[in-house]
Structure 1
Amino acid sequence: MNHSDHFYEYQIRLEGHVREDWFDGLLVALHPEGETVISGRMDQAALHGLLTRIRDLGLVLISVQRYLDEKGTSDE
């Protein structure tokens, strides 16, 4: 099954704090323990683009989590 055209809610955790305007269109939360959490709805192409941007900026990736809806299924 091809999931490239489906949108999912993702949460990406980074080490350190980043500027919120680096990730326009996404929710950026700066946590007091020194992590940044970026959240948003995106397809696979957008996710890969975001991960490439994180790498290119030299940021430390902690985790990537895809969330399912309240029924336990993804939005397909």
Structure 2
Amino acid sequence: MPDVTRPPAPDEPAVYALRIAGHLDDHWSPRLGGLTLTREPDGTTSLTGTVADQAALHGLLTGIRDLGVTLISVAIV
């Protein structure tokens, strides 16, 4: 069982859950690392899935920024 008290090393994959304001269509998933998009009743979108490493996470965050949407949270799950 993995040690849940420590974050993954920068070069290890991890499952992330990100939340953004607004609803995104599923066609954005490939641009956002293939994460699963779930439109929530509160008007937000959850993006979940495995991110290969910290470099991929930074690329994902850049993609979100480039869409002009508001990032609400990022968490390792």
Deviation at 1:40, TM superposition (A): 0.7
Q: Which runs of 5+ in 1 are unaligned?
A: 68-76
TM-score by length of 1: 0.80
How large is the Cα RMSD of the aligned pairs?
Answer: 1.4
Distance 2:59 2:27 in 1: 16
Deviation at 1:26, TM superposition (A): 1.1
Q: Percent identity?
A: 47
Q: Once the two structures are superposed, what CA deviation does each residue of 1:8-49 show, in whole Å capped at 9, x if it has no partner?
A: 110000000012121222111001110000001112111111
Q: Report how many residues are paired.
A: 66
Structure 1 segments (4+ residues) deviating >3 Å: none
Range with bigger deviation, 10-19 or 21-30: 21-30
1:64 paired with 2:74, answer yes
Q: Which runs of 5+ in 2 are unaligned?
A: 1-7
